[in-house]
Amino acid sequence: MDRSSLLQLIQEQAHPQALAGGPTPLQQLDPENTGFIGADTFTGLVHSHELPLDPAKLDMLVALAQSNDRGQISSKRSSSFKRAITNGQRALPQDGLLDEPGLGVYKRFVRYVAYEILPREVDRHWYFYRHRSCPPPVFMASVTLAQIIVFLCYGARLNKWVLQTYHPEYMKSPLVYHPGHRARAWRFLTYMFMHVGLEQLGFNALLQLMIGVPLEMVHGLLRISLLYLAGVLAGEAGVYPLATSLVGLTLTAVHLLYTGSLTVSITDMRAPVVGGSGGVYALCSAHLANVVMNWAGMRCPYKLLRMVLALVCMSSEVGRAVWLRFSPPLPASGPQPSFMAHLAGAVVGVSMGLTILRSYEERLRDQCGWWVVLLAYGTFLLFAIFWNVFAYDMLGAQIPPPP
């Protein structure tokens, strides 16, 4: 077992006098400071010393130590760590987390998140017992808060809270993606802070908090922020549909076809893009696909009903975006925002997102599927950059003048 993980657990649970004076147990177990402790040695230490460890954590540590045939257990998110948990699950506490008594409000929420996100009981146990409230899931909360602040600022400035894109001053924002400003690269990401109106902001913020925050609690800030921003960037390009018709149904074309802001710049070349729907649909589609792939193991209540409601809501939002794009209810000075970002985010979620969510406590770099998805996404980005630099002039595309 990794020394730092063991040291943290002992410091949390052991009385100060158990560690006072003389060499520490870790120094005795690892005198050469190699960073690892033998499984047999660690198991003997646990049984011979009266360390006041939590029984559930103690059983879990012993199970990990006994299940690794190499005599060592490496740190988290490695294949050996995952294999140790899987092989040692019989030694874990047999009672489900739903039977855990005397939990506070926060620990009950952690238990709820475990059953909402993770499909295997052993993973739920491990997440529940090792979860720490610090650092909190700051990414999704920060993005949502920033989107609300930006919306309130523009709403007060324009004196318009619904269908803001019809206001002539709205498209002058430096955050909105407009094909006439595609050379300003920051707009391929910053458009996620702008929204059509209160209805789109409310829908996105609700999903980001209800789905994004639990996903970030389980899988961490780095993975979920990568997935969310990949969906946002993909939604802007609009590349995939056109690439498919030109290149054919290859894996690269399919993956390039629906990738957020870049997708719009290829498939709907005259349309601007606003809203964080690319990132939201990446998270939602990844979670829903993970639930379907692990249907028997998911213990979330009313999962079929909730799946149907989620699909209906997401489809309705796409339908609303299509309606606003092609049948604007109010006079407009130019094309309305494209709906392709929604579809691009969904494709990113099913491909890249599903790979991430199925890799709980495993390193992504150890999986072949992750590199295939990453290669496809990188190929799409290169194609989208080339398209935005050369295709508009080559095809003679007529785009509306930038505001």
Give the residue numbers marked as catalytic: 277, 342
3-state secondary structure of 287: helix
- The count of residues in the chain is 403
Residues 92 and 124: beta-carbon distance below 8 Å = no
Helix axes 138-158, 198-207, angle to 10 degrees: 170
d(CA 65, CA 55): 15
Instruction: Look at residues 32, 31, 41, 28 and name the one whose alpha carbon lies nearest to residue 1.
Output: 41
Residues 171 and 139: beta-carbon distance below 8 Å = no
* Type and span of the H or E element at 237: strand 236-237
d(CA 265, CA 245): 16
Cα 375 to Cα 83, 239, 351, 369: the distances in Å are 27, 16, 12, 10
Q: How far apart are the first and last CA of the chain?
A: 60
Residues 61 and 93: beta-carbon distance below 8 Å = no
Residue 275 — left, alpha, or beta (φ > 0 → left; ψ -120 to 50 → alpha)? Answer: left
